[in-house]
A = this chain, B = another copy of it.
Amino acid sequence: MDRVKIIEVKQSVFANNDQRADQLRQELKQQGIFLLNLMSAPGSGKTTTLKRTVELLRDELKIGVMEADIDSDVDAKAMAEAGVKAIQLHTGGMCHLDADMTRQGLDVLAKEAKVELAILENVGNLVCPAEFDTGAVKNAAILSVPEGDDKPLKYPLMFQVCDVVLINKIDVAPYFDFDLEKCREYIRMRNPNARVIPICAKTGEGVELWAAWLREQVSAWRS
């Protein structure tokens, strides 16, 4: 196994993040690269979900993963072990990535491999990452059953900016007071257009649906 590359991304000096994110998106469009920004609270299952996603899509798409983390390289190692090109972005304590930090990662990823689907696993945090457009084509959030069905009420912006919400760990639903219909309703209140897909990344349940959604988005973007 190759050693995982660790990039210390520098905090952006640019104030106009929205503009720079739009510019990055335009460049990605020209290059035929689809960038997905995956966000969630700590421990919701981003890495496990990504491993499943890569298993389902790697035969049809060239995938590269950027694992953002404050300090560790636990996730990039896990992804590299799953056989996908993965780099680690160290934010040096920063709680989110902006468009320019994402670009720094994409530049390194591009040198390592030709990529059609780039996935950014953002810092585990339901607050700050939602405030910064990374330049991604689509935003996905994971909410896991043990966190509770009321999270869309408490972290409104995250659910507003998402194109799709994966409800993960549905295998343990019997052990928690989690009302899926109520949760769907709260998400709809924040964002009537967000697709909601219940999954269990551990067993693979529902992940086919999510992969199909992603496949469709990538195909539309690259056509």
Would you call A154 and B42 a contact (CB within 8 A)? yes
Residues from chain B with a CB closer than 8 A to the CB of A123 are 127
Residues from chain B with a CB closer than 8 A to the CB of A175 are 171-172, 175
* Interface of A, helix, strand, loop or mixed by DSSP: loop
The reply on A69 being an interface residue by CB < 8 A is yes
A30-60: CB near B (< 8 Å → 1, else 0) gives: 0000000000011100000000000000000
Residues from chain B with a CB closer than 8 A to the CB of A71 are 154, 156
Contacts A127-B125, A146-B146 given; does A154 touch B93 at CB 8 Å: no
How many residues in A have their beta carbons less than 8 Å from beta carbons of B?
33
The reply on A25 being an interface residue by CB < 8 A is no
Min CB–CB distance A49 → chain B (angstroms) = 13
The reply on A27 being an interface residue by CB < 8 A is no
Would you call B43 and A147 a contact (CB within 8 A)? yes
Would you call A69 and B154 a contact (CB within 8 A)? yes
Min CB–CB distance A150 → chain B (angstroms) = 6
The reply on A153 being an interface residue by CB < 8 A is yes
Bound together, the chains give a CA A41 to CA B41 distance in angstroms of 7
Q: Which residue of B lies closest to A148 (CB)?
A: B43
A97-112: CB near B (< 8 Å → 1, else 0) gives: 0000000000000000
Bound together, the chains give a CA A70 to CA B71 distance in angstroms of 26
The reply on A131 being an interface residue by CB < 8 A is yes
Would you call B95 and A43 a contact (CB within 8 A)? no
Residues from chain B with a CB closer than 8 A to the CB of A176 are 172
The reply on A14 being an interface residue by CB < 8 A is no
Bound together, the chains give a CA A155 to CA B74 distance in angstroms of 12
Bound together, the chains give a CA A202 to CA B146 distance in angstroms of 12
The reply on A72 being an interface residue by CB < 8 A is yes
Bound together, the chains give a CA A74 to CA B70 distance in angstroms of 30
Residues from chain B with a CB closer than 8 A to the CB of A150 are 74
Which of chain A's residues 109-162 have a Cβ closer than 8 Å to chain B? 123-128, 131, 144, 146-148, 150-151, 153-157
